[in-house]
A and B are shown apart, each in its own frame.
Chain A
Amino acid sequence: AQKVTQAQTEISVVEKEDVTLDCVYETRDTTYYLFWYKQPPSGELVFLIRRNSFDEQNEISGRYSWNFQKSTSSFNFTITASQVVDSAVYFCALSEGSLIQGAQKLVFGQGTRLTINP
């Protein structure tokens, strides 16, 4: 069965510090997709990144970077030089490739509440 684990329930850092959010996943599929979403206080989930299981290249987008390691089933997210506006709950999610073609379904981790203090 598929499962996503975000062991860090809450993280609190001071502004400008770097912070890494951990994500470990379990799946029997060889084709799968990994995601990160951000949930600000308003409630909606905001898409950050999508990765397929065949693309292990790390990705950087501004202050955000993602490290995908199939060998350890991890897909970690790092925010460099954190800002107060980064405060939110962050979710890692998994979608298996064996779903009905085109089906949209995510299995989410429990989320990490990130607080950036000024």
Chain B
Amino acid sequence: KAGVTQTPRYLIKTRGQQVTLSCSPISGHRSVSWYQQTPGQGLQFLFEYFSETQRNKGNFPGRFSGRQFSNSRSEMNVSTLELGDSALYLCASSFHRTSGGTGELFFGEGSRLTVL
């Protein structure tokens, strides 16, 4: 079964631009979450979507947004890019759980964003 697919894998932008990253979850997975990984701050939760609804959001400015489509694919957008937004952005999908807390997350290889 295909894993989590993220596109693009690498991209370079300049300050002030905006960027859209895409994530296709594992077939049958309806929850998609996003994480930012930087050397300084480590892995930080951005947001999670389930059935096209944002279910949880991390402590990031409003420049970071996301959405989920009816086929569970998700996109995240960062507007007005800053140098500090340079990071590896990881998407994870998981099978829907109605109880029992966070389950196993399956991660993609990430989209590495460089802001110049």
Contacts and interface: CB of A to CB of B under 8 A. Distances in A.
A118 interface: no
Interface residues of A, number: 30
A106 B99 CA distance: 16
A109 B42 CA distance: 8
Interface residues on B, range: 20 to 34
A104 B94 contact: yes
B31 A43 contact: no
A18 B67 CA distance: 44
B101 to A, nearest CB: 5
A85 interface: no
26 contacts: A32-B101, A33-B102, A43-B109, A44-B90, A44-B109, A45-B105, A50-B103, A95-B102, A99-B56, A99-B101, A100-B55, A100-B56, A101-B98, A102-B50, A102-B98, A103-B50, A104-B56, A104-B103, A105-B45, A105-B48, A105-B58, A105-B102, A106-B43, A106-B102, A106-B105, A108-B44
A91 interface: yes
A57 interface: no
Interface of A: 31-33, 35, 37, 42-47, 50, 52, 91, 95-97, 99-111
Nearest to B97: A102
Given A44-B108, A44-B109, A45-B92, A108 B101 contact: no
Contacts of A47: 104-106
